[in-house]
Amino acid sequence: MRTELALRLAVIFVAFVWAGFRFERLARPLFAAPAEARLRPFGPRAWGVVVNVFGHARLLRKPYAGLLHAAMFFGFLFLLTAVAQVFGQGVSPLFDLDAVGGSTWIAFGQDVFAVLLLTGVAMAAFQRGVWKPERFMGSNQRDAAIILCLITAVVVGMLMQNAFRVAGGDPSARWRPVSSLIAAAIVSSGVTGTAAAHGATAFAWMHMLAILAFLVYIPGSKHLHMLVGIPNVYLRDLKPAGRLVTPDLEQPTLGLSDIGQLGRKQTLDLYACTECGRCQELCPAFASGKPLSPKLLIMNLRDHLLKTRGVGGHRAGLRGALIGGAVAEETIWSCTTCRACMEACPLFIEHVPKIVDMRRHLAMEAGRVPDGISGAMLSIEQRGHPWAGTRFSRLDWCRDLGVRVLAPGEATDTLLWVGCTAALDARAQKVARALVRLLRAAGADFAILGEDEKCTGDSARRTGNDYLFQMQAAANIETLNARSFRQIVSICPHCVNTLKNEYADFGGAYDVLHHSQLLSGLMENGRLPGPPKSDSAPGAVAFHDPCYLGRYNGEFDAPRAVLGGFGATVAEMERSRGRSFCCGGGGGRAFAVEPPDQRINVIRAQQARATGAPVVATACPFCLLMLDDGCKTAARNDGGGAPQQVRDIAELLDDALRGAGAAAIS
């Protein structure tokens, strides 16, 4: 008895020291990282933990995986009582939890949750071993298998320990239905009394050793999320989704080129990743065959961090190894910043800010930006718009419409922020023209900035050129602040996002609406007349949610309300609303050179085609151009046939109000 106790203490000591070293290796870079101010406000942060950790809100979007996780999560929580018992008794035989129900309701709960936990393990094993969803591609399957085995060992150890105790006459028998069942089998095989007591001791050892093995194993495993998951959810970003952190351009290094520059929460993200692949599954870059998986990005950053900083702790000689080593430049440029990954991540890992941060290094320090993107950025710098080579100047689209141009000092109710694409691209100009007709029909007082409007800098910021973005922001804010208006309305969700969420950092606070919001409001309060009675119903329209309208700014209903308002039926694509699949044009990718076999817009067009609707509606000029192009290719790939028409919601509404005949001469 004495030697066994000493052995037990020695094993526990060794395991704790071993685990301590392994945890310390993780903690060192974490605490060396600069902390972001993310501890407050407590209320909303804690509520997010309740909803997303205890409520499994995001996990349950996949019912099977969500349920198996819930079974294991709540099972684990309850079996912490068994952990307390086995270690308490391991250190002192006098320890028990009887005062709080250790041999009554806790005993009962342990039996029930053990079964629940084992069910979860079985479901997980089935998912990993038989079902094998594609999202696990690239995840560490061996790690997952080891974890499932260790959990099984812990639970089986506990159940058997209790069963042998019951067989030896433990009074908690009537509270332990499952253990009693196993005990009956043990007794019927002739094991009772001292033999049963020995059995209980043996399984107590198994129980304890499995827990200790788990403890030692966790620091090198994806299962680390059980410790850092809660803090990671608590420390999640509460800023508006569309607001990136503004860097100080005077600091000596710009952007992320060394893993040691990652902030503390950004580092914690790397430890939190469970390799579940929900991000990878929704990533349009991954789907199109580009060398980016948000999951692998996080895993590679984590491995790089531990390789370079966990072991030696010296940064010398390791600089620059991040980009081009752990993460390829091509990977960094593949992202459309569509945010599908971040929206899906159950643990609120922030993929996009890390990618943009690495782009900042490439754009502002290394000067290595892919051709198409660098040309567009140079054009923004030289001409105030990215569409180098356009044959239009900013007022050409509305020369015959006589739209009022707001001069400095003048006032209007609604400032129409046209955006570069709607002003300078022949196809997108039709959207601006349609919107002007609608605003006039509604009797709105509106004006535009004309030649004084410059690119908001969204593409510049998202391709890492924050210098250019900040120049654009300063120039536009000066222009805007010299005029008075009640609200800004834009056709472009990227402009809306930047004006609404990002200019605040530079002294520009405005009421900003997307045209879908304005139009749905005008329809609701009757300022836009109902569509004229016509014989042909508008029919089915597939609606593509622009990322910067939906995921970034939470507006899914207004464009659908506009479509529904004139009688169209919205044919929902499989990937819609929060799970919408990017057109491929975000994050500066509208200007990038896309390899023909990796076109995201074609994939999206095929998804739209699958609805069978003759018209694809969208509410963003980038989406409009990308899908217009994609639908033609999709139709050709589909063996010919007419491509779907791609229209902005404003064009469709304008058509409906003017009657179909007027549509041809827009």
In the complex, the residues that contact another protein under the rule CB under 8 A are 249-250, 252, 254, 363-369, 374, 378-379, 382-384, 388-394, 396, 451, 467
CB nearer another protein, residue 389 or residue 661: 389
Q: How many CA atoms lie within 13 A of 322 on its CB side?
A: 26
Nearer to another protein, 550 or 588 (CB): 588
Cβ proximity to another protein, 41 vs 367, nearer residue: 367
Question: CB of residue 400 vs another protein: minimum separation in angstroms?
Answer: 13
User: Residue 467 or residue 552: which is nearer to another protein going by CB?
Assistant: 467
Beta bridge partners of 540: 569
Question: What's the closest the beta carbon of residue 396 comes to another protein, in angstroms?
Answer: 6
Please say which residue, 324 or 375, places its beta carbon nearer to another protein. 375
Q: Are residues 186 and 163 in contact, defined by beta-carbon separation less than 8 angstroms?
A: yes
Cα dist from 219 to 20, 234, 301, whole Å: 9, 20, 16
Q: What's the closest the beta carbon of residue 469 comes to another protein, in angstroms? A: 11
CB 447 within 8 A of CB 403: yes
- Smallest gap from residue 62 Cβ to another protein (A): 43
Nearer to another protein, 66 or 450 (CB): 450
3-state secondary structure of 415: strand
Sheet (strand 484-490) strand order: 446-448, 411-417, 484-490, 512-514
Residue 480 C-beta: closest distance to another protein, Å = 17
Considering the complex, state which of residue 93 and residue 641 has its C-beta at the smaller distance from another protein: 641
Whether 522 and 594 have beta carbons less than 8 Å apart is answered as: no
What letter does residue 161 receive in the DSSP assignment?
Answer: H
SS (H, E, C) 330-394: HHHHHCCCCCHHHHHCCCCCCHHHHHHHHHHHHHHHHCCCCHHHHHHHHHHHHHCCCCCCCCCCC
Our CB check for another protein shows the closer of 275 and 466 to be 466
Q: How far is the CB of 472 from another protein (least distance, A)?
A: 14
Q: Is the CB of 91 or the CB of 660 nearer to another protein?
A: 660
Ramachandran quadrant class, 339 (left: phi over 0; alpha: psi -120 to 50; beta: rest): left
Least CB distance to another protein at residue 18 (A): 46
C-beta of 500: minimal distance to another protein in Å?
Answer: 26
CA 6 to chain centre: 50
Q: What does the alpha-carbon distance between residue 222 and residue 207 come to, in Å, rounded to a whole number? A: 22
Phi, psi of 405 (to 5 degrees): -100, 125
Smallest distance from another protein to CB 449, Å: 11
Cα 446 vs. chain centroid, distance in angstroms? 37
Cβ neighbours of residue 513 under 8 Å, at least 6 residues apart?
487, 488, 489, 490, 496, 521
Q: If you write DSSP's letter for every residue of 282-328 in order, what string do you get? A: H-HHHHTT-S--HHHHHHHHHHHHIIIIISS---TTTTT-TBTTTB-
**Residue indicated by tokens 């349009």:** 284
Position 272, amino acid? A
Considering the complex, state which of residue 397 and residue 552 has its C-beta at the smaller distance from another protein. 397
Output the smallest distance, CB 464 to another protein, in A.
10
